[in-house]
Amino acid sequence: MRILFVASEGLPFSKTGGLADVVEALPKSLVEAGHEVAVVLPRYRGTKATAVVVPSMTIPDGRGLRFPAVSDGTVLAGVRYYFVDDPEYFDREQLYGVKGVDYPDNALRFGEFSRVAIEIAKNVWPADVIHCHDWQSALVPVLLRTVYAADPLVSGLPVVFTIHNMGYHGLFSRDTLAELGLPESLFRIEAMEFFGHINLLKGGLIYSDYLTTVSRKYAQEIQTEEFGHGLDGVVRDRSSRLRGILNGADYSIWSPENDPLIASQYSAKDLTGKKACKKDLLEQFKLDANDLQRPLIGIVSRFAAQKGFDLIEEIAGELVRENVSIVALGAGEPRYEALFRELAGKYPRQVGVKVAYDNTLAHKIEAGSDMFLMPSRYEPCGLNQIYSLRYGTVPIVRATGGLDDTIEPFDPASGRGTGFKFEKYDAKDLMACIRKALTSFKSAPVWQRLQTNGMARDFSWRASAGEYAQLYEAARKARILNVGVTSNSM
């Protein structure tokens, strides 16, 4: 089967979050299973291309014509990469916006991106199915079922659409429909209208053949008012076409046995190297590296309220008084960037922060930390807790979404479990959960049992890739029978 991925970011070329990890790892696993896979990404600033595939494509929108190119991103691990090359739209400081503010022309940027992706499927790399990710590619199924509905080369292409985070909609003013060259008929409640605006994510939910999200628990949660962000009714209407498929980990990249980015490699059979990684990590953040007995808590995250940083803010002083060290890597909301900078300034021997994305340092945090903190308000899947298990770094998480699916609470009496979880979104409950972890940390045999439990878990992509392959086939069959979308959505 020929599968075309369409996504706004993907490693090793671009990244702001876990979407990029998935767009790198899942295609590789599908290729290993015998499928042909290509990935379409924007060509952002600093992204290097090897050649020009199409020097100029004529892409219409409501304002006229644009002429982006398609560049060759080479073949990596058997996966073909193409870039939508339009410097005016994509050669910018950041991917989606700066200083927490989205670029005002994001609808036009990703509208063009979606049209070019369809043209690639039509003229450059004919596909059997298109797999779209998040609102930035949601116009692909919308365009296929409207603007391209009479085009025999692509009108029948099935689309699988993955929701990586229901909280990000792609919400724009009504007049954006015309600017995108989309029919006004889409501005209705059964299509893309959303409280007087147009909602790109909603379009993807309605016009795709199958929907997936990144854990089974999150597939249930997004059908509720609490986690549906106003689209829970749409998801419930399409629940027969919704699947929760857990994200996997790429252990060729994220495994302490073969990680070239960490100070010392190690395994569940010999954890000696983890101490060297801890010392190295403390030195990286200029913390006290002489006391390796002090618990070290790691954080790698987008700094946002969704990730539970309001809870961390509430307990920060209390947590530091527990005689722990904390290292944090990430960027996002200025409030939480300032929080960690202030903590690092006040407790320079215990708290370190780097406000940035740094892949090497992310690996060092996974390997060198004793515990990994993810107290998310909601978490569709989460990858860092899965990476942490592999590195013998014990996760402390809230029981939501993929965090709940992947972490088993530790029971000291039986020795079973892989981490620590709390249920209620409450700072006191988080602090109580951390204290449980710190109590277990005091016993070296207990802690080692907990570490090896986690390191034995297998969250590789193999099983999940198989589930996706089955879903692609189901989407093809549904499209052949012309029952790809609900009858009231056309």
Residues 57 and 193 in one domain: yes
Residues 230 and 305 in one domain: no
Residues 337 and 198 in one domain: no
On the question of pLDDT at 488 being above 90, the answer is: no
Residues 284 and 231 in one domain: no
pLDDT digits (tens, 9 = 90+) for 379-412: 999 999 999 999 999 999 999 999 999 999 999 9
Question: Rounded distance, CA 306 to CA 304, Å?
Answer: 5
Beta-carbon contacts of 16 under 8 Å, excluding residues fewer than 6 positions away, are: 9, 95, 96, 302, 357
Residues 39 and 170 in one domain: yes
pLDDT at 291: 80
Structural tokens at position 287: 């913390």
N residues, the chain = 490
CA 487 from centre of chain: 31
User: Using CA of residue 6, residue 109, residue 13, residue 405, what is the dihedral sign?
Assistant: negative
Q: Three-state DSSP class for 272?
A: helix
Structural tokens at position 340: 């960690």
pLDDT at 485: 53
Question: Rounded distance, CA 325 to CA 137, Å?
Answer: 41
Q: What is the span of the domain harbouring residue 240?
A: 2-248+462-489
Question: Rounded distance, CA 154 to CA 146, Å?
Answer: 11
| Rounded (to 5) percent helix, strand, coil in the chain | 40, 20, 40
Contact in structure between 340 and 334 (CB atoms under 8 Å): no
Structural tokens at position 350: 């215990």
The mean pLDDT of 157-166, rounded to a whole number, is 97
255 assigned to some structural domain: no
Question: Rounded distance, CA 126 to CA 118, Å?
Answer: 10
Residues 374 and 297 in one domain: yes
28 assigned to some structural domain: yes
Q: How confident is the model at residue 99 (pLDDT cuts 50, 70, 90)?
A: confident
Residues 14 and 52 in one domain: yes
Contact in structure between 82 and 73 (CB atoms under 8 Å): yes
260 assigned to some structural domain: no
State the CATH number of the domain containing residue 431.
3.40.50.2000
Q: How confident is the model at residue 126 (pLDDT cuts 50, 70, 90)?
A: very high
Question: Rounded distance, CA 194 to CA 166, Å?
Answer: 14
Residues 213 and 289 in one domain: no
Domain count, the chain: 2
254 assigned to some structural domain: no
State which amino acid sits at residue 478: A
Q: How confident is the model at residue 489 (pLDDT cuts 50, 70, 90)?
A: very low
Question: Rounded distance, CA 375 to CA 316, Å?
Answer: 13
Q: How confident is the model at residue 484 (pLDDT cuts 50, 70, 90)?
A: low
Contact in structure between 349 and 360 (CB atoms under 8 Å): no
User: Using CA of residue 38, residue 39, residue 40, residue 45, what is the dihedral sign?
Assistant: negative
Nearest to 302 by CA among 344, 336, 343, 326: 336
pLDDT digits (tens, 9 = 90+) for 245-259: 999 999 999 999 999
pLDDT digits (tens, 9 = 90+) for 260-300: 999 999 999 999 999 999 999 999 999 988 889 999 999 99
Contact in structure between 139 and 169 (CB atoms under 8 Å): no
Question: Rounded distance, CA 312 to CA 297, Å?
Answer: 12
Residues 44 and 177 in one domain: yes
258 assigned to some structural domain: no
On the question of pLDDT at 486 being above 60, the answer is: no
pLDDT at 332: 87
On the question of pLDDT at 487 being above 70, the answer is: no
278 assigned to some structural domain: yes
Residues 240 and 283 in one domain: no
On the question of pLDDT at 490 being above 80, the answer is: no
Mean pLDDT across the chain, nearest whole number? 95
Q: Three-state DSSP class for 461?
A: helix
Residues 200 and 337 in one domain: no
267 assigned to some structural domain: no
Residues 177 and 302 in one domain: no
